[in-house]
Each structure stands twice: as structure tokens, then as C-alpha cells.
Structure 1
Amino acid sequence: MAMSHVKTFRSVINTKEVVGILSQRTFSAGAGKAKKDKKGGSQTDAPKASTLAKEVKATTVVGGNILKDGTDPKILPDSEYPDWLWGLLDKRPALSELSRKKIETLPYEDLKRFVKLDNRRSIKENNSLKAKN
């Protein structure tokens, strides 16, 4: 499809003009104003030091505030959080792994996941068959 558009524009735009437009470099407004130090590098190349104190970083969730007048939430001890929170990042088995096991022996959560993933696979298959016709 893109090639058909290129062919239609070929008669309108000269190839050299397109290459000239695509190869132009652009800079931000302040890029030319960086001061050079004695070694040839600019002073803005160095990473900026954080303005937050280490104590604040260790006790609060920086950027966690979503309220206009609120403050960043404090980090609580692990015992204050619910148990299910610690299992959110655990790896869950894929459909291929679940289909290799006997369905009768799967725990309820894995069986539920197997049904969901199998339905998703069959829907994608049906959609691809319909798209080909």
C-alpha cells in the first residue's frame, strides 16, 4: 500500500527533495547554548544531581501523589500491606504449558486461566479465518 502512494507522489516530488527533507537534523531550542568546558564537552552532558534528600527517597513514594493538594504517600512496613500484593508479579503458566498438563489435575485458578487463554486463542483463530475470506 505504501508503495502505491510512493508511485503517485514520484511524479510530483523530486527524489532529491525527499531525501533532503528526510535527512534534515533538528535541534531543541537550547541545544546550541550549551557552554563548553576546557576538554571540549559541554557542561550539560553530566547528569544532574537529584534535588531530593536520600531520607525522603527512602520513606516516601516520590511521584505517587495524584491529588492537587495532597502529598506523596509514605512507605509502610511490609506487614501493613495485604498478602495478595506480593504475588502480583509472580510468573503465571502460559497456555502451552497448561495444555500439556492433565486438565483434571489442574488447580481451580490454573483451570480458570486455561479456559480464558483457550477462548482467546480460538477467537483469534476465528478472526484470522474470517479476515482471509
Structure 2
Amino acid sequence: MAMSHGRSFRSHIVGREAVGLVLRRTFAAAGGKAKKGKGGAAGDGPKASSLGKEVKSTTVVGANILKDGADPKILADSEYPDWLFHLLDKHPALSELRRKSKETLSYQDLKRLVKLDTRARIKENNSERAKN
């Protein structure tokens, strides 16, 4: 005998008028048989993409945020700004920045040192207060 456990809760969103939102989630008992419809069981495996290889290699699939828009095309590297390719560069860790002389650090590295050092001091102070 398959039994299901249901849980529901109600939350109210207050705006101009109160709107009730009811969510329900059910769980099937373990060992129960799944019903199969005409199309087979749902979620049997990953579904094959309906997009062709040409579309995948020339467009940024899923980047469209507009209702009536289309996915943007992938451009040549020369079409993008230079700073874009430096976003994924590795930044030095706090220990490396502390080892270097502060006079030789670039402005960005000096800013990073101050930020990371402040963050480390705050974490240390918080852990000390938590112990007491």
C-alpha cells in the first residue's frame, strides 16, 4: 500500500492586497512502484538537447533575459574589451602580499592587502568573542 506524506504551509505576501500562497509537497513511500504513462517514467535519464552543434558553438545559449529577444552571438576575441580577459587572472593571497614590501606593491595589490587584512582581523576578533 503506497502512502504519501503531505506537508503544506501558507504564507501571505502583503502589498496593496493580501495574496495567499499555498505550497504543497508530497513524498511517496519507499519501495512503491512509479506509474508509467504513455511517455514512460519522468526523469529516467538526461534529455538530449534539441539544439544543434552549430547553434551551440555560435550563440551563448540561455543568456537571453528578454521575452522577445534572442540569445547573443559569440563574437571574435578582438570584439570584446581587453579588461574582460583579465577577470579570471589569479590574485595573490594574503600571505603572499604580506611577504612583499608595501612600497613595491601596485595600487590594486595594496588595496587587496588592506581588504584581506581587515577581513582576517575581523574573523579573529569574532572567534575570540565567541569563545568568551
TM-score by length of 1: 0.64
Q: Select the structure that is richer in helix.
A: 1
Q: Partner of 2:36 in structure 1?
A: 33
Larger radius of gyration: 1
CA distance in 2, matches of 1:26, 1:65: 42
Q: Partner of 1:9 in structure 2?
A: none
CA distance in 2, matches of 1:26, 1:89: 48
CA distance in 2, matches of 1:118, 1:25: 52
% identity of equivalent residues: 71
What amino acid maps onto 1:57 in structure 2? K
Q: Partner of 1:125 in structure 2?
A: 124
Instruction: For structure 1, list consecutive stretches of 5 or more residues without a partner in the other structure.
Output: 1-23, 35-43
Using a 3 Å threshold, how does the CA distance of structure 1 residues 45 and 113 change in structure 2: closer, same or farther? Answer: same
Q: Partner of 1:70 in structure 2?
A: 69
Identify the structure with bigger relative contact order (alpha carbons < 8 Å, sequence gap 6+).
Answer: 2
Q: Partner of 1:89 in structure 2?
A: 88
The RMSD of aligned alpha carbons is 2.7
Q: Select the structure that is richer in strand.
A: 2
TM-score by length of 2: 0.65
Instruction: For structure 2, list consecutive stretches of 5 or more residues without a partner in the other structure.
Output: 1-28, 38-42
CA distance in 1, matches of 2:83, 2:102: 25
Partner SS state of residue 33, structure 1 = coil
What amino acid maps onto 2:36 in structure 1? K
